[in-house]
Amino acid sequence: MDIIQKIIFMGLPILFAITVHEVAHGWVASYFGDKTAKLAGRLTLNPLKHIDPIGTIVLPGLMLLMHSPFLFGWAKPVPVDWRNLKDPKKDMALVALAGPASNFIMALIWAFFLKYVLSSDGSDAFQMMAQTGIMINVALIALNLIPIPPLDGSRIVSSFLPARAAYHYNQLERYGFFILMILIFTHVLSAILMPLMQLLLGIIASIVGL
């Protein structure tokens, strides 16, 4: 398999995982009263509406070249105005949780597809696509549960904090990208993510029967 085919068969599930993750945030926010993402045209599965040059293209590409044990990335965050939500603290936690929940569902779908491919002697390309789909979604779940602003885990934690503490905690968002990069290049992130990813993979394998 040449590099172009590999990029296509691995890139499609990565794009889909990141896109659906963001749409899930926007859809749940819309359900609870905030139409900001809908009005911005972000409730669409068109990946071009969600691509972030660094998080969607450069970072996953670098991780592929570095033969990273896992892949992840991010899209442009969908805009959410918490002031429009019916119950801002509770609803914001549910909006944040929607992204990882959508990734878990997608990981299950890819796992069932992998089971079908393996049972039908499908091509290596489709097997690689399914495995990538499982791994990228599991990695996104694990990554986004880390409570570093602006990751989803921080939104969930923030919803349980008193207003003043939540405000100061959320101020870390301006440093979030740099904290994440430091964790990646010092391999601390791998040490944090791998145990949770292994747990999630075990759960998915048990459900699907792999």
Structure tokens at 19: 């896109």
Catalytic residue among 15, 22, 37, 98: 22
Q: Is 22 a catalytic residue?
A: yes
From the list 105, 126, 119, the residue with the least C-alpha distance to 12 is: 126
Q: Which residues are catalytic?
A: 22
